[in-house]
Amino acid sequence: MSDRPVSTLNKPDAALEMTLRPSLFSDFTGQPKVKERLEIAVTAAQQRGEALDHILLSGPPGLGKTTIANILAKAMGGNLKSTSGPTIEKAADLAGLLTNLEEGDVLFIDEIHRLQKTIEEYLYPAMEDFKLDIIIDQGPNARSVRLNLPRFTLIGATTRSGLLTAPLLTRFGVRERLDYYVADDLQKIIVRSARLLNVEIDEQGAHEIARRSRGTPRIANNLLRRVRDYAQVKGDGKISAQIADLALAMLEIDANGLDEMDKRILDTIIRKFGNKPVGLNSLAVAVGEEPDTIEEVYEPYLIMEGYLHRTPQGRIATDLGFKTLGLKPPKGSGNQPDLLPANDSPSPRGRGPG
């Protein structure tokens, strides 16, 4: 993947995140309903002396799924063992993880939707009965051995919950979706992070960064670090609204939080494709980006903010997308999302490339 602003800013920086990541619910800002429900689940489990139910956390990248997993493990007094779906290549890998768990531990699997289906089958008895069936040897000598596992909590994180199979999805007792953050919450996160990083920042500077952070704490923290560098080199080290504005302009992030790639996507749809519905793969080739990156990193924000509309036939830019590029929307373009119920409009014939 090319090193573009949002692609880079969406990537976790391990050292930075360990410094800034809250370890208690009291330090966690945002997602109030999710936090309340999880706090109740933790308190109830503690009162009963049981392990937490298995939990699935879904939502766009950078919203705090890993952070919540760490908080839950600490709250329950267990160890957190982390892995990700793509790294579990064989059933033996999963067996090694499960058999090394202790009572009350938390196993965190990031991008759990990318688990191989054959490996996923081994999770079912582990999650339901805390037992693991493994096959020893091959051919006529093959035999099944059942191992008892300690009562543990599986926390799965996914950016695409729709790709999880129904058998796995239904085995999670708690399912929570994290949504994008409002600017006020992001501002609080930035002020806290600045304090931990020993960076002087005023309220206006924090607000300027917050409103351009695409509703994502990871991006907010990474932007804070970039603005800190700018303030150190070009200013007196203090982050004000003016310094933040200059630093973000240098990063080509506009007042709405859109970066160069966001505008390239909109420009490509409008100019190259005449704002006709564009399939994901065609769009990815045209802008020189991976389809998964467009679908998981760029599209959710563009759709949420009303710049892009995804139809069964493909992606089109809305009137707001035209205006963002300084273009006049064509009359009667029909670029706004259809507000009528789905059954009031004819259904598309077949599945489009989008």
Annotated catalytic sites, by residue? 65-66, 110, 159, 218
CA 189 to chain centre: 17
Residues 74, 70: Cα–Cα separation, whole Å:
6
- Token reading at 28: 């966690």
Neighbouring residues of 138: CB distance < 8 A, sequence distance ≥ 6: none
Tracing tokens 């302009």 back to the chain, one arrives at 249
Distance in angstroms between the alpha carbons of the first and the last residue of the chain: 22
Helices and strands, number each (H, E), in the chain? 16, 9
CA-to-CA distance for 88 and 95, rounded, in angstroms? 10
**In which residue are the tokens 């790294």 written?**
87
168-172, long-range: CB within 8 Å, 24+ apart, which pairs? 168/112, 168/115, 168/120, 168/123, 168/124, 169/56, 171/54, 171/123, 171/124, 171/127, 171/128, 172/53, 172/54, 172/55, 172/56
Can you name the residues that pair with 133 across neighbouring β-strands?
Answer: 146
Within 10 Å of residue 302's Cβ, how many Cβ atoms? Answer: 24
Give the 3-state secondary structure of 187-241: HHHHHHHHHHCCCCECHHHHHHHHCCCCCCHHHHHHHHHHHHHHHHHHCCCCECH
Q: Tell me the β-bridge partners of 106.
A: 80, 153
> 27 is written with which tokens?
């330090």
